A and B are shown apart, each in its own frame.
Chain A
Amino acid sequence: NAGVTQTPKFQVLKTGQSMTLQCAQDMNHEYMSWYRQDPGMGLRLIHYSVGAGITDQGEVPNGYNVSRSTTEDFPLRLLSAAPSQTSVYFCASKTGTGVTGELFFGEGSRLTVL
């Protein structure tokens, strides 16, 4: 049982490049989400999903796209990276479609945009 797996753990991009952060969970969780963590700003919700085919925006969605084609996977896409997207990204999942109850976090992906 691997839990929530994020790849890659580290990535350096140039401004304007695109990339996808992968997130996979093997717990059959309905709810999946992406957060970014910046110094002094805590965890901010980017996008979330309550099931395959269903996604919605969080607090800071601009510059990011998501899709949920399967229950297990929830990739986060940066179409044209900007220095402001330098951050640590966390994927989290939980059972059910609401946020009451434990969120299981991945170990994070550190992204640097030059």
Chain B
Amino acid sequence: GENVEQHPSTLSVQEGDSAVIKCTYSDSASNYFPWYKQELGKGSQLIIDIRSNVGEKKDQRIAVTLNKTAKHFSLHITETQPEDSAVYFCAAKVGAQKLVFGQGTRLTINP
């Protein structure tokens, strides 16, 4: 079955710097890749997603890139702010009705 590996598990950056989180997946049939943000004590929220027919998608300070050949995708956050501190999860779609999540990355933005 699908296996999603996420790195790093923890990431600390200075406010204003960029942060990059990487994920790899194993099932070449996967065609949908969302990223979720989980703040302390809350459920996760979708922040950006990408389908396999595009290589990059941007939404203000957040971007996701996808390399289908290498089977990896990455989350890029620019000009980081304290409110970006959270746990981030990548995921890959398996079949039509399941998502397999990565292990999560705890991002800390240092003032």
List A residues at the B interface (Cβ < 8 Å). 4, 31, 35, 40-45, 48, 50, 56, 58-59, 90, 92, 97-108
Contact = CB atoms under 8 A, between A and B. Distances in A.
A56 B95 CA distance: 13
Interface residues of B, number: 27
A42 B43 contact: no
A98 B96 contact: yes
Interface of B: 1, 4, 6, 9, 32, 34, 36, 41-46, 49, 51, 89, 91, 93, 96-104
24 contacts: A4-B43, A35-B101, A42-B6, A42-B102, A42-B103, A42-B104, A43-B89, A43-B91, A48-B97, A59-B98, A92-B43, A92-B44, A97-B96, A97-B97, A98-B96, A98-B97, A99-B99, A102-B34, A105-B36, A105-B43, A106-B43, A108-B41, A108-B42, A108-B43
Contacts of A100: 32, 51, 93
Contacts of B42: 107-108
